[in-house]
Structure 1
Amino acid sequence: MNFDGLPAQLPRFLAELAANNERAWFQAHRDEYVAAVRDPLRALVAALAPAMLEIDPAFDVNPQGAAVSRINRDVRFSRDKSPYRITQWLCFKRHGEGWQEHPAYFLEIGPNGWRHGMGCYALPPAANKAMRSVILARPGRYRDALEQAHDAGFHVEGELYARPKLPDGLEPVLVEWLSRKSPFLVANRPLEPVLFNSGLIDELRTRWVALAPFYALLR
């Protein structure tokens, strides 16, 4: 797959889908979805695959598999019965692993902006406890990895504990991560020209390599 940038119509299509989130409209525009959304994201995965395999040779880089989001939402247990996802994403994770207990790289794009980074989506308490133990045992390695992530434009996000149980006297740089249920590193960005040309590959490759020490620490 060749990649020359995401199509300019990708965010426009998602905006139109947000305004017409129903099966009849989508079926009438399915070919546009394939051309403007699905296939370009698959091409981006294929273009990034060599660099991602250098970070972790176990990454699943199949562009037609779990690396690219499906357009259909699972509405079985949701109050929101809208059938289609407005935000589309791609991710790099190991074969057979979910986002729950293991770190993954991700990119999300919607009608009004995009973001990318690395972390866990819904970390179970036991896994979070284990991760916290690793960071507390290696604070210097954590600080170095976080500083490199900050220099590459990332910051820490994730839902905060109401009453985080932390050792006394922790420095703020440790509290920033350890006080969150499912912390992750992210760069939130508006729609911008780099999305729509081949320079997106170098942009992501450079910034994601900068996250590799943090990814290795979380592994």
Structure 2
Amino acid sequence: DYVQYLYEPMKALGQELFAPFAQLPDMVLKVSRIYRDARMHPPEPYKQSLWLCIRQEVPWWGENPCLFLEMTPEGASYGFFFYHPKAEAMERFRKDIAAQPRAFLELMEKTRHSTQMPVTARCYRRPKASPLPELEPYYAWRDQISCVRQVPPGPELFDPKLKDQARNCSPV
């Protein structure tokens, strides 16, 4: 039942969402169940999460941004996630947004408006100095940068429009 009703439909959805990225070098689609060691977490349910991820084929995925969709008994979530960027990448990010602050702020506003999802991040306790007050929140970003939508269990979770909503987050 798992393969027929969950895994195969998730693979098919993944292929549809991956299509715009298929020709890009080193991009891959991963579809998987979350595994964990039942010996270490015996009271917790085993293998209740099914996810797909569109990312670069690199040694450690956490240092590169990815798009994802995850299904759990509590619902679904999808969006953009950049788990643990290297410090050099964040320094380059800060230099880039300082060089073109208006373009960056417009992009952030366009993203918020088009996706109806906030872009969030884990911040430094003592934020880095920003050249402009408008950039201060972004200079504080450390890691776990995301733009994620939660979908609770219910009709929306099984609506074919969910695929289109997830696809529309792709430009983020």
The TM-score bracket by the shorter chain reads 0.7 to 0.9
Greater percentage in helix: 1
Q: SS of the counterpart of 2:11?
A: helix
Tell me if the contact between 2:34 and 2:51 (Cα under 8 Å) persists in the aligned partners: no
Helix, strand or coil for the counterpart of 2:141? coil
- Identical aligned pairs, as a percentage? 30
Residue matched to 1:7: none
Equivalent residue, structure 2, for 1:72: 35
Q: Deviations for 1:137-180, whole angstroms, at most 9, x for unmatched residues? A: 22222112211210121212232211111225421xx3333322
Task: Please tell me whether the aligned partners of residues 52 and 70 of structure 2 are also in contact (alpha carbons under 8 angstroms).
Answer: yes
More strand by share: 2
Give the Å deviation of 1:40. Answer: 2.0
> CA, structure 1 residues 112+208, in 2 after alignment: closer, same or farther (shift >3 Å)?
same
Moved more, 113-122 or 82-91: 82-91
Offset at residue 186 of structure 1 (A): 1.8
Which amino acid in structure 2 is aligned with residue 184 of structure 1? S
Q: TM-score, normalised by structure 1?
A: 0.64
Aligned residues: 169
CA contact (8 A) 1:73 1:83 kept: no
Cα deviations by residue, 1:107-145 (Å, 9 ceiling, x for unpaired): 122222322211311223232222222222222221122
Deviations 1:10-54 (A, max 9, x none): xxxxxxxxxxxxxxxxxxxxxx33233322211110122223447
Q: Is the 8 A contact 2:79 2:149 kept in 1?
A: yes
Residue in structure 1 matching 2:15, options 40, 46, 49: 46
CA contact (8 A) 2:51 2:69 kept: yes
1:178 maps to which of 139, 143, 164: 139
What secondary structure is seen at the aligned counterpart in 2 of 1:185?
strand
Q: Where do 1:15-94 residues align within 5 Å? A: 32-53=1-22, 56=24, 58-61=26-29, 67-73=30-36, 80=41, 84-94=46-56
1:129 aligns with 2:98: no
- Structure 2 gap ranges (5+): none
- Secondary structure of 1:167 counterpart: coil
User: Aligned-residue CA RMSD in angstroms?
Assistant: 2.8
What secondary structure is seen at the aligned counterpart in 1 of 2:31? Answer: coil
Looking at both structures, which has the greater relative contact order when contacts are Cα pairs under 8 Å and sequence separation is at least 6?
Answer: 1
Using the size of structure 2 for normalisation, the TM-score is 0.79
The 3-state SS of whatever aligns with 1:195 is helix
